[in-house]
Amino acid sequence: MSNTTSAQSPITPGLRTYKGSCQCGAVRFEVDFDPSEGTTRCNCTICAKTAWWGINVKPGAFRLLSGKEVLGDYSRSEASHARFCKVCAIRPFGHGHIPEMGGDYYSVNVNCLDGADMTGIKVTYLDGLHDTWEQLAVAPYVSPFSAGARA
């Protein structure tokens, strides 16, 4: 019997600190996040084409450790800033101010967390493509790369 977490296993509640980076490591950060709160995926074109999988936190839960000098900023409005590494072009986080999200926020790309096992975490799928932000589905994450998925 394997010790691998089942996709149906509940995520243990509690705030944890995760480290993350862009692909080349020039941009490094930490984020405090309770995985039992879940994550979001959006079907808008930028999220779909950049494989964005988001964790939203208040600014005090995010710390940029290195790479400020290599960060680019892609913004379609003053409310939201998608930050990317100008060395490797990966988009590890964004930030902004959206009243519907509770004001100031940071959003971290789960795919940029270093060594984090998110098996079983709740993913809420949203319809950003049509600007409705309607909840399309909620499902636990199943990694196709985990040992349990290959069994």
Flag whether 9 is in a domain.
no
Flag whether 8 is in a domain.
no
**Which residue range forms the structural domain that includes residue 131?**
16-144
Other Cβ atoms closer than 10 A to 134: 10
Flag whether 2 is in a domain.
no
Sequence-ordered list of residues with C-beta below 8 angstroms from that of 143, at least 6 positions apart, any chain: 117, 118, 119, 149
What would the DSSP string read from start to end of 67-111? -GGGEEEEEEETTEEEEEETTT----EEEEEEGGGTEEEEEEEGG
Flag whether 71 is in a domain.
yes
Flag whether 149 is in a domain.
no
Flag whether 59 is in a domain.
yes
Give the amino acid at 108: V
Phi, psi (degrees; rounded to nearest 5) at 116? -85, 125
Total domains in the fold of the chain? 1
Flag whether 10 is in a domain.
no
User: What are the CA-CA distances from residue 102 to residues 54, 90, 92, 97, 106 (Å)?
Assistant: 16, 26, 21, 8, 11
pLDDT tens per residue, the chain (151 residues)?
333 334 445 678 899 999 999 999 999 999 999 999 999 999 988 889 988 999 999 999 999 999 999 999 998 777 889 999 999 999 999 999 988 778 999 999 999 999 998 989 999 999 988 888 889 999 999 888 776 555 5
Flag whether 100 is in a domain.
yes
Closest CA to 104 of 51, 57, 70: 57
CATH number at 43 reads 2.170.150.70
